[in-house]
Amino acid sequence: MTAAKEFEVVGKRLNRLDGEGKVTGAAVYASDFALPGMLHGKILRSPHAHARIVRIDTTAARKMPGVRAVVTGASQKLNRFGNFIKDFEVFASERVYHVGQPVAGIAADTEYAAKQALRAIEVEYAELPAVFDVMEALDKAAPLVHPDWQSLKAAPIIVREGNRCSRTVIKVGDVEEGFRNSYRVYEHVFRTSAVHAGYTEPRVAVAQWTASDQATIWCNTQLLFDTQSTLAEIFGISPSHIRVIVPGIGGGFGGKLRLGMEHYAMALARAAKRPVRVMSSSEEELTAALFRQPTTIELKTGVDREGHILAKQGRIVVDAGACSGSGPLVASTGTMILAGPYRLPNANLEGISVYTNNHPNGSIRAPSGPMPNFATESQMDMIAEDLGLDPLELRRRNILREGDIAVNGQKMTAVGLEECLDKAAVAIGWDHRKPEHNRGKGLACGWWMTSRGSSGSYLKLMQDGTLTMMVGVVEMGTGALTGAAQVVAEEMGMKLTDINVVSADSLTTPYDFGSQGSRTMFAVANASREAARDLLGKMRVRAAKALGADEQALAMRDKAFWSGEKKITFAELAAQANTAGGGLIAEATYIAPAAEHDASRVQNHFSPSWPSPSFHVHATDLSVDDVLGEVTINRYVVAQDVGYAINPTYLEGQLEGGAVQGVGQALSEEIIIANGHVQNGNLTDYKMPTAMDVPKIEVILVTHPSVAGPYGAKGVGEPPTIQPPAAVANAVAAACGKRIMHLPITAEKILLG
């Protein structure tokens, strides 16, 4: 299916199906949800980065008015859990590994009573040596964060040693020979800081046990079924005995991929034998959420006289924190971003994640993207400057094009990168890179994958001729399910408003890999499209029989099948099937095919091939104040290869929002941590950009259709957060000559640089 064809529903700027409820306030979010008799839960957290728990005395807390349950690591048998390594505890049992680690939980009649009871719990600690710097943690003499690391269960792909909890390598050609043949070799070290996902709604869960081994959780997770299976693992019960429902979610951006408050609510509800609600405070969000990992990136690149890359060696070192979390995945995928969307005849790229006694970190939007892209694209500009080349021209000489082989051995198809470069350059006025004193322009390009993972869809034709679509994915506010519904409406010859979407209930909706990895609309729409075609086939058979006509001769329009002047409507078909055939229903599942790659090039890689990769370029025009060092963004342009725009409005919204989020990481956002303690745990000191800090984002949709995507669409949600730090850094260097190598790019760093 080519993207050039004109369609009735897809490709149109139609209103979101969930829009009215959200703008009127009628929509129910997880933080709105409550049950009769519900208690309020609070968590007691460790003040130490590493310590042995000598004793915990909860006697006084249990006697306080309104307290219904107290839970510690010793009071319930709760299993360890973790994405790739089982190194998380619900409540610390013998030791604490980081500041903020949960030690006990209280369930009480009111939040006030729960907070008061927390103060009555006595905990005696014996402090232990700790390590906070990720490079120091790699030293063999460093204290071990997990002295028992060898006994912790881990996925087979994980390669561990001491505080190193994973290692991935990509090797191509002979990198040393490439350096020997190079005209110039450049070596640099870049660093990035921890940042928060920035969602509006805090993490929250309401838990209720309906039997000794059956529970229901209402929460705001992005991964419905992963949450279900992880909770089952923790509590030692069957996943089918845990029902997870997401009433609504007020933003996630990856920060709600993993367990937030669900396990605490379940433990407290089991102890209290009452429903329990646990919601993080704004302070807990900025001191105890799952942040984007800080990184240290070492990069060495060799080029010939014309700037063609001959060799690249790089290492991304990810601070996983006290538990591995998403660290191994981030380090692994980061190697592909270190390579960049460039031809690399010789490369040796390494990604490692490392334990420290800092707070565990997570997966923020495009988890592995901004940090290594900041390094790779900053260095590209530094190379261009040294060689006397235009940074745009240097990229043109090295980018992947149609049919090229990427660093992982994958043949590139549907590559829109050059068009993105050209259009972004024109839009930002690249011909005048330094229009005036202390004003400059910068750009950065990159690539990202459309993640795999299975999605299912159930379709049911209703008696009024409309359609119900049931899917297990969570609508996070991106409009992804409206896009999927547009695909179904197109296939069914219906209007978008004829599609009713039911989602995010582990008991009633089909399995889905989850709202992550730029895959939601891509995968759900593909599954729903196949289900729609199956359903139409069933309907056509019934219509042909009812009309006494040949199936292939039937025309379909206006929610009816026609044979000449005779017709049978979808509503009539539904009524007929409901009385005589058990209804008209269909189902389908979809998982993106793995792209072919060269397995000999990759070791222990979580994403060795990139299905339907997308390509993107960001360009910005900014000014740097001579005296204050403050950065003002005058213009910002995003050009992204989206494959095909199912709904241009919502794609533009994703690109605009992602760019703003990336600009925040570039210029101001940073979780400041000293000896394991967060120093700016409030929204006054944690500087997220406001509407006053960023200009209107100018969006250019480039369309090089994917073979696998619905109507040629590619994943969209994560990429716009990747390029802003590098684009801003390059523009700052162009404006004032200061090359900042450590995010964020603050006024202080500019003035002191």
Closest CA to 632 of 570, 704, 694, 711: 694
Give the model's pLDDT for residue 11.
97
Residue 642 above 60 pLDDT? yes
- Tell whether 175 is covered by a domain: no
Least confident of 21-25, 221-225, 630-634: 21-25
Give the model's pLDDT for residue 468.
98
For the segment 115-136, the average pLDDT, to the nearest whole number, is: 97
Instruction: Please check whether residues 431 and 461 belong to one and the same domain.
Output: no
**pLDDT band at 581; cut points 50, 70, 90:** confident
Residues 454, 260, 274: CA angle, nearest 5 degrees: 110
- Tell whether 149 is covered by a domain: no
- Tell whether 58 is covered by a domain: yes
> Percent of the chain scored above 90 by pLDDT?
96
Instruction: Please check whether residues 344 and 359 belong to one and the same domain.
Output: yes
Residues 53, 356, 161: CA angle, nearest 5 degrees: 105
CATH of the domain at 245: 3.90.1170.50
Residues forming beta bridges with residue 208, ordered by sequence position: 216
pLDDT in tens, 77-86: 999 999 999 9
Dihedral, CA atoms, 150, 151, 155, 158, nearest 10 degrees?
-10
Domain count for the chain: 3
Is the backbone peptide bond immediately before 370 cis, with ω within 30 degrees of 0?
no
User: Domain span at residue 121?
Assistant: 33-128+200-251+256-288
Instruction: Please check whether residues 399 and 419 belong to one and the same domain.
Output: yes
Give the model's pLDDT for residue 382.
98
Instruction: Please check whether residues 728 and 632 belong to one and the same domain.
Output: yes
- Tell whether 168 is covered by a domain: no
pLDDT in tens, 269-310: 999 999 999 999 999 999 999 999 999 999 999 999 999 999
Mean pLDDT of the chain: 96
Residues forming beta bridges with residue 478, ordered by sequence position: none
> pTM here?
0.96
Closest CA to 381 of 294, 299, 296: 299
Give the model's pLDDT for residue 4.
52
CATH of the domain at 467: 3.30.365.10
Instruction: Please check whether residues 542 and 667 belong to one and the same domain.
Output: no
Residue 2 above 50 pLDDT? no
pLDDT in tens, 512-528: 999 999 999 999 999 99
Instruction: Please check whether residues 415 and 328 belong to one and the same domain.
Output: yes
Q: Which of 555, 590, 625 is the last residue of a domain?
A: 590
Instruction: Please check whether residues 446 and 465 belong to one and the same domain.
Output: no
Least confident of 18-22, 225-229, 370-374, 725-729: 18-22
Residue 553 above 60 pLDDT? yes
Residues 514, 516, 519: CA angle, nearest 5 degrees: 90
Give the model's pLDDT for residue 580.
83
- Tell whether 340 is covered by a domain: yes
Instruction: Please check whether residues 260 and 314 belong to one and the same domain.
Output: no
Residue 496 above 80 pLDDT? yes
pLDDT in tens, 29-47: 999 999 999 999 999 999 9
Instruction: Please check whether residues 650 and 720 belong to one and the same domain.
Output: yes
- Tell whether 517 is covered by a domain: yes
**pLDDT band at 401; cut points 50, 70, 90:** very high
Residue 699 above 80 pLDDT? yes
Instruction: Please check whether residues 228 and 274 belong to one and the same domain.
Output: yes
Are 377 and 727 a contacting pair, CB within 8 Å?
Answer: yes
**pLDDT band at 497; cut points 50, 70, 90:** very high
The phi and psi torsions of 42 (rounded to 5 degrees) equal -135, 155
Q: How far apart are the first and last CA of the chain?
A: 52
Give the model's pLDDT for residue 3.
44
- Tell whether 616 is covered by a domain: yes
Instruction: Tell me how far apart the alpha carbons of residues 269 and 77 are, in angstroms, rounded to a whole number.
Output: 14
**pLDDT band at 5; cut points 50, 70, 90:** low
> Percent of the chain scored above 70 by pLDDT?
99
- Tell whether 144 is covered by a domain: no
**pLDDT band at 1; cut points 50, 70, 90:** very low
Instruction: Please check whether residues 559 and 660 belong to one and the same domain.
Output: no
Instruction: Please check whether residues 104 and 213 belong to one and the same domain.
Output: yes
